[in-house]
Structure 1
Amino acid sequence: MTSLQRTNGVQSPALGVGPSYRPAEEKPTATVSREVPFDNVHVLSQTPQLIALLTMIRDKNTERGDFIFYSNRIIRLLVEEGLNHLPVVAHNVTSPVGKDYVGVRFEGKICGVSIMRAGESMEEGLRECCRSVRIGKILIQRNEETSKPKLFYEKLPADVANRWVLLLDPMLATGGSAIMAVEVLKSHGVPEDRILFVNLIASPEGIENFAKHVPKVRVITAFIDQGLNEANYIVPGLGDFGDRYYTM
């Protein structure tokens, strides 16, 4: 059964969450991700596991060690899904018992690029899935008064133009920093359609802004939240991801 929950005057969808074979009366109602009308945006399936993990990291009382652990689990889910969106080519192998197996392998090289500092929290999840993957960094900071992004630093693999790029940042608020990061990659020769933006929580305003400015970049996100408040922070959100992951 679908219902609507309201926070700060904004409606968010809510569903009975649980295994499909359970009757509706045995499924607790939980807030799930909003839907958006953009073909380049993919939201993870709102499974009981994902909603439970998101509930843990949203809780202001969750201690840093638990916040890191549960965030890392979501990051791993996101990276695994992101890899599903990379192209593959036919690749046949012979098993140890001498039988052929018709399979596939990834086409082309990949690299990760994290938007510092919060994006660096996602690097280990990428390394766990892609051994010896190269990772670049972009430092963009938002002016708290204007909410406009400013580029401070970039360090990318020399051959980044020849790779598929997984751009990493857990929070997408207004979308300004992520759009600037994509422009940096494009200035180094990376085609827009070879960039995948991997993200934990986004605002609908940020998603719309991002999708309209860089429509060929595919977004892989766990959750699209209710919206932005007057300070352009995601609500209900989870606070400052970088602070909670690294210092609090």
Structure 2
Amino acid sequence: MTYKTIRLDLNDKVATITIDRPHRMNALTPQLFEEASAAIDAARANGARALILTGEGRAFCAGADLVADEGYDGLPDDLGELLDNYYNPFVRKLADLDIPVISAINGPAVGAGMGLALTADITVMARSAYLLLAFVNIGLVPDAGVTWLIAKGAGRTKALELALLGEKLSAEEALDAGLVTRVADDEAVLDEARAIATKLAHGPSVAIGYIRKQVAMALNQTLAETLETERKHQSKAGFTEDFREAVAAFGEKRKPIFKGR
């Protein structure tokens, strides 16, 4: 498939999707969501075991494109329909993946772009980048799941501060707030994300898939419910080839070679 708004690279079981609209600071359009969704399916079909999201040029993503552009008619009258048809299905797709997602936040992540960045399991943020919930500045409310992500990650107080004031949050502030995993020098962001993704791509993929779902479920479960989830996933993980390989490698005093099965 030929992509116009993104690039897909698959190397060493790691798929990298780069949002490629630098002239619009990688702002989001329906076509971009369609292409990114198709790229994820293609990557999984070709054996990807980890996914990186990043942006081309100086921005990660400026959020929804507010202005009509070549091949793009601009925002519809009913923004709820836009969320129903494009934003929400894509966020759910990322959340439902059975492979880990890493975001390399190479520059500003604004509005829904902030939501996409924080949806990842591991987030590596450039030192000069910033996060910005800009919705209130244009008379809108947060979307792309970012309300939930910030409230769960940093708490109610921080979520309200960011959403109501619409002020920039630096990389170091985002790290201190628990919203991103690591901060790296600008030129090292993608390399660090790739190193993490490669490690995960060569890990026990079945267990990794269960772990990402288990943590997401735990955010809304009681202890008793979490214990039951852990029991169910552990039972399944215990029957994998990767677990048997790990036990054999332990006995033979060598590193396990995981095949993702």
Normalised to the residue count of structure 2, the TM-score between the two structures is 0.26
Name the structure, 1 or 2, with higher relative contact order (CA <8 Å, separation 6+). 1
Looking at secondary structure, tell me which structure has more strand per residue: 1
Looking at secondary structure, tell me which structure has more helix per residue: 2
Normalised to the residue count of structure 1, the TM-score between the two structures is 0.27
